[in-house]
Amino acid sequence: MKYLAIATAAIAFMAGPLSAAESAAERDARMAWWREARFGMFVHWGLYSGLAGDWNGKMVGDSGGLEWIQQRVGADTHTYAAQAFPKFLPKPDFAREWAKLAKRAGCQYVVFTTKHHEGFALHDSKLTDYDAGDLLNRDLVREITDALRAEGLRVGFYHSVIDWHHPQYDFRKAKGLPYPKDGPAVAPTPRDHDRYIHFLHGQVDELISNYGKVDVIWWDYSSTGFQGDEAWRAMELLEKVRAKQPGVILNNRLFRIPEAGFNGMGTDSVTNRMDPKYGDFVTPEQHIPPTGLPGVDWETCMTLNTTWGYNRHDHKWKSDETVIRNLVDIASKGGNYLLNIGPTGDGSIPKETVDTFSAIGKWMAVNAESIRGTTASESGKPAFDGRLTRKGAVHYAHVFKRPADGRLTVPFKTSKATLLAGGQALKVTAGDKQSVIELPTELPDPIATVIRCE
């Protein structure tokens, strides 16, 4: 016990005053809703949404992140805004459609872009005129936040620390962070990056002060050559955020160092080593870690086609089967799934996206208890084609493909097995280390049939 106490004190000391201020139990309580949720909606929406993958009337590309269109075409901020502004025409009540779809799909939270790399702020900011308040006389962050809360959803703010508009953002210092090629021409150099940092902190202060409780802040992003205090005065920013929003959950992307869960550049360079002073969760992007990331909280963010921001030319949509099985796979490894939508310039959700989220919702209406509030299966991938999740003494077997003989071997003792779809009891032969469940000849769900095992 004494050794443990000394070790705990040493860890708390090394982690610094911020983490020491919060005990492990307090952290668990703060993280509880997020760990239970398992499924959230990501929204990328900004001036790029109206451009929809076109520049000067021509297609820029049919794949890749078109929220990066300003950088892809190399436009300076004025040229970009002149073409994109007139196409960004939010319809009334767009946010209610987002919130209703997220709710219907079984999401517990929604993270949306308050500002992407282009620099355009969706809120009504006093610190710039490059914002929805000045352009549209609307506060889109308020509209979205209100709509999400009306559906009982948790609210997450994505906020880009990279900024292709602000005249003092020092792209020359920002090693490893791409910048539109014609950007430098329209702003003063040398730049005073401290003034940009002051602006960044100021806009974040507006976001954490004026919209009630913020459940998540999703920073994006840093490079190994430009990160943390040098790039964003990150620790000071985090202190301010935690002081005003003590319950907030933060990702780790103000940093790009091993202590904060990174092992290099690349969106798959995530590790399961992370000191909580840098944030609460790590963010594998567009991929699912093969064996999860035991020991840290993690969330895989992923697109439905190949872009985050709307591109009318991108038709590479993932199937319902892929995204539902991804959700199951991630839950079986103890992570969260943040699945993206890219609304159009008026805020409408593409039909393919509505269809897929509806399909997830249909599946979740029957099977949510096998996802929400579950933890990773300690036995890893089962011998059958499918996955396992667990909630205390209850195990859930997710069957992707019925074994030819209809006998499902599960790696634990169970004497009661029921189909979540319909509640039919299945015959079980219980053993000490494994049990065998007799499946019906036809599985009720060809994507993932869930069996509750007690």
List of residues contacting ligand H79 (CB under 6 A): 64-65, 67-68, 178, 220-221, 267, 285, 301, 308
Distance from C-alpha of 247 to C-alpha of 265, rounded to nearest angstrom: 29
DSSP secondary structure code for residue 285 in this structure: B
DSSP secondary structure code for residue 142 in this structure: H
Residue 224 or 375: which CB sits closer to ligand H79? 224
Closest approach, Cβ 160 to ligand H79, in A, equals 7
Between the alpha carbon of residue 89 and those of residues 54, 71, 85, 248, 390, the distances in Å are 16, 22, 8, 31, 45
Tell me the pairing of strands 281-282 and 297-302.
parallel
Distance from C-alpha of 175 to C-alpha of 170, rounded to nearest angstrom: 10
Closest approach, Cβ 45 to ligand H79, in A, equals 11
Residue 68 or 80: which CB sits closer to ligand H79? 68
Closest approach, Cβ 378 to ligand H79, in A, equals 30
Residue 267 or 291: which CB sits closer to ligand H79? 267
Residue 291 has which token pair?
């064996």
Residue 209 or 267: which CB sits closer to ligand H79? 267
Convert 211-276 into a string of H (helix), E (strand) and C (coil).
CCCCCEEEEECCECCECHHHHHCHHHHHHHHHHHCCCCEEECCCCCCCCEEECCCCCCCEEEEECH
Residue 167 or 178: which CB sits closer to ligand H79? 178
Helix (H) or strand (E) holding 337: strand 336-341
Residue 216 or 448: which CB sits closer to ligand H79? 216
Closest approach, Cβ 420 to ligand H79, in A, equals 32
Residue 285 or 314: which CB sits closer to ligand H79? 285
Closest approach, Cβ 256 to ligand H79, in A, equals 11
**Cβ pair 62, 41 in contact under 8 A:** no
Closest approach, Cβ 2 to ligand H79, in A, equals 46
Between the alpha carbon of residue 276 and those of residues 25, 132, 159, 256, the distances in Å are 13, 34, 20, 14
Helix (H) or strand (E) holding 43: strand 39-43
Closest approach, Cβ 10 to ligand H79, in A, equals 36
